[in-house]
Amino acid sequence: MQRKNAPESVGKVAIVGRPNVGKSALFNRLAGRNIAIVHDQPGITRDRLAAPCVRGRRPFTVWDTGGIGGGGDVELRVQVRSAADAAMRESDVILLVVDAQDGLTPIDQELARILRKSKTPVILVINKIDHPKHEDLESDFARLGFANSDPISAAHGRGISGLLETIDSLLPASDAVISESFREQSDQPSTTSHPLVLAIIGRPNAGKSSLINSILHDARTIVSELPGTTRDAIDIMYERDGQRFLLIDTAGIRARSKHSSSVEVFSVMRAERTIRRADLCILVIDLTSGVTGQDKKIAGLIQKAEKPCLVILNKWDLVKPKRAAKAEMERIASATREDLFFLDYAPVLIASALTGENVEQLFRLIVDIRRAAHVRLGTGVLNRLLRAAFEENPPPTIGTRRLKLFYAAQARGDEERTLEALKFILFVNQPKLLSETYGRYLEGRIRGAEPYPGLPVLLSCRARSENV
């Protein structure tokens, strides 16, 4: 497939406002797709989301932020405010969103007071003008004193074209050099190679966001002791040593029976979709809890999706012994492999996101996995290996028949994919004669010749006549 150039971003636009005024709905409307979770529960968006907007005359990057001044944990409100402030500092235009149907509130007035001191252009976006009968509600916000204001309905799309025109008039006049982050977040493919998509997944409060912050050396995502802080899947571009990565911080995946709300159910669905979207899944497990039943279920989702994977046992700083630390690490890693026996191909790294200990080794493991993905077993070597395996341990008889192997070959990978499972095609007398147990045995023999760390090995049987 031929790759096209992405349009150039001419600036960044931040969406700010108090909770539940429709910021995420506006973000999705400008992005042209559902990225942020939209729900009538206040405080759903807590991390900063980014996406390209190509609907107007000139494309720009739009930022969604957490609601400012909402209820909930005090520390979390401070972090949300900090994330919004950072987005405002980095933006060329600010969209202050208010709820026309709620009317002017003290938080709206306080935000307006702060933003009037900013040198960045501000557009007052009066949302939820869902019907011509609501247009009279605009007048209540005139006292905020902004020269630019647009009445809209983010939910129904009313007034969006006018808002885009106002944004375009306030964006920087000179064309900006296209940013790599914009290029990769756009649906339009770029002329450069794909970044490696890393999905950071695990139970709530396992330390997923802390791990990303440790990698970035920056408080890019909100870290809180409250489980469920990350509700959207957050895409973050990252580059190191000339290699580009797309880090996806996902909502913690709880057991279905423990979902506290429909929002959390939706968050988990997003996390499950993220697994399918990823090139490599990084399963984060809380060492202080050990491998739980829910960790195994999440690992099962990775296995079902046939995704490359590695496991990080986080919070090593809380359990690290004063003596014989290396021996304890080996014991813990071995026990984890036993607990996750069905994911035994995944390398296990013991680390501390809080202190940064061993976090750098994560990328050494990724290098090993990428290198292994390009290793092919020669057809002759593969066939000799499998024939020897059949001779040493013949397959079981099923009914009156036994599996026979005529020929085997390693399938070529998809050139568009950065990482993927390794597939081996077995030409046999009858595919259904390959039992799951014998398939694992053959996989073990293949890994004995080539370990393929982090990569699933898939066996695909095809029927072939014995007379051919």
Supply the CATH number for residue 68's domain. Answer: 3.40.50.300
Cα 342 → chain centroid = 23
Structure confidence at residue 182 as a pLDDT band (50, 70, 90) = very low
- Cα 91 from Cα 94, distance rounded (Å): 7
Asked if the model's pLDDT at residue 46 lies above 60, the reply is no
Choice among 39-53, 226-240, 406-420 with the minimum mean pLDDT? 39-53
Of 416 and 327, the one with more pLDDT: 327
pLDDT on residue 190: 38
Select from 373, 396, 416 the last residue of a domain.
Answer: 373
- Same structural domain, 241 and 263: yes
pLDDT on residue 251: 66
Best-predicted range by mean pLDDT among 6-15, 69-78, 245-254, 447-456? 447-456
Report the candidate in 255, 274, 275 with the shortest Cα–Cα distance to residue 264: 255
Q: Please name the residue that has the structure tokens 């636009």.
A: 13
Number of domain units in the chain: 3
Asked whether residue 402 is domain-assigned, the answer is yes
Asked whether residue 109 is domain-assigned, the answer is yes
Q: Which domain holds residue 253?
A: 193-373
CATH of the domain at 399: 3.30.300.20
In the chain, % of residues over pLDDT 70: 75
Asked if the model's pLDDT at residue 148 lies above 70, the reply is yes
pLDDT on residue 187: 39
- Same structural domain, 209 and 129: no
Asked whether residue 122 is domain-assigned, the answer is yes
Query: Measured between alpha carbons, how far is residue 69 from residues 13, 124, 229, 454 in Å?
Result: 21, 18, 16, 44
Asked if the model's pLDDT at residue 40 lies above 50, the reply is no
3-state secondary structure the chain: CCCCCCCCCCCEEEEECCCCCCHHHHHHHHHCCCCCCCCCCCCCCCCCEEEEECCCCCCEEEEECCCCCCCCCHHHHHHHHHHHHHHHHCCCEEEEEEECCCCCCHHHHHHHHHHHCCCCCEEEEEECCCCHHHHHHHHHHHHHCCCEEEECECCCCECHHHHHHHHHHHCCCCCCCCCHHHHHHCCCCCCCCCCEEEEEEECCCCCHHHHHHHHHCCCCCCCCCCCCCCCCCEEEEEEECCEEEEEEECCCCCCHHHCCCHHHHHHHHHHHHHHHHCCEEEEEEECCCCCCHHHHHHHHHHHHCCCCEEEEEECHHHHCCCCCHHHHHHHHHHHHHHHCHHHCCCCEEECCCCCCCCCCHHHHHHHHHHHHHCCCCCHHHHHHHHHHHHHHCCCCEECCEECCEEEEEECCCCCCCCCCCEEEEEEECCHHHCCHHHHHHHHHHHHHHCCCCCCCEEEEEEECCCCC
Contact between residue 68 and residue 111 where contact means Cβ atoms under 8 Å apart? yes
Asked if the model's pLDDT at residue 1 lies above 60, the reply is no
The two three-digit tokens of residue 221, written as one number: 């995502």
pLDDT on residue 222: 45
- Same structural domain, 39 and 169: yes
Choice among 77-91, 171-185, 290-304, 419-433 with the minimum mean pLDDT? 171-185
- Same structural domain, 132 and 71: yes
- Same structural domain, 334 and 228: yes
Asked if the model's pLDDT at residue 305 lies above 50, the reply is yes
Per-residue pLDDT averaged across 168-197, rounded? Answer: 55
Asked if the model's pLDDT at residue 185 lies above 50, the reply is no
pLDDT tens sequence across 70-117: 555 555 556 556 655 666 777 899 999 999 998 988 888 878 887 887
Asked whether residue 187 is domain-assigned, the answer is no
Asked whether residue 5 is domain-assigned, the answer is no
Asked whether residue 4 is domain-assigned, the answer is no
Of 86 and 154, the one with more pLDDT: 154
3-state secondary structure 175-193: CCCCCHHHHHHCCCCCCCC
Asked whether residue 188 is domain-assigned, the answer is no
User: Cβ contacts of residue 240 below 8 Å, gap of 6+?
Assistant: 363
- Same structural domain, 257 and 114: no
Asked if the model's pLDDT at residue 26 lies above 80, the reply is yes
- Same structural domain, 365 and 221: yes
Asked if the model's pLDDT at residue 5 lies above 70, the reply is no
Structure confidence at residue 229 as a pLDDT band (50, 70, 90) = very low
- Same structural domain, 273 and 350: yes
Best-predicted range by mean pLDDT among 65-69, 220-224, 310-314? 310-314
Backbone angles phi, psi at 292, to 5 degrees: -95, 175
- Same structural domain, 143 and 66: yes
Per-residue pLDDT averaged across 11-21, rounded? Answer: 86
pLDDT on residue 226: 45
Structure confidence at residue 257 as a pLDDT band (50, 70, 90) = low
Select from 373, 389, 423 the last residue of a domain.
Answer: 373
Structure confidence at residue 37 as a pLDDT band (50, 70, 90) = very low
pLDDT on residue 392: 95
Report how far apart the first and last C-alpha atoms of the chain are (Å, whole number): 36
- Same structural domain, 134 and 200: no
Per-residue pLDDT averaged across 334-356, rounded? Answer: 94
Query: Measured between alpha carbons, how far is residue 183 from residues 22, 212, 216 in Å?
Result: 26, 21, 20
Q: Supply angle C-alpha 69, 70, 75, rounded to 5.
A: 80
Asked if the model's pLDDT at residue 204 lies above 50, the reply is yes
Asked whether residue 1 is domain-assigned, the answer is no
In the chain, % of residues over pLDDT 90: 39
Asked if the model's pLDDT at residue 216 lies above 80, the reply is yes
- Cα 45 from Cα 67, distance rounded (Å): 7
Select from 325, 357, 373 the last residue of a domain.
Answer: 373
- Same structural domain, 106 and 92: yes
Asked if the model's pLDDT at residue 335 lies above 50, the reply is yes
Asked if the model's pLDDT at residue 171 lies above 80, the reply is yes
- Same structural domain, 318 and 452: no
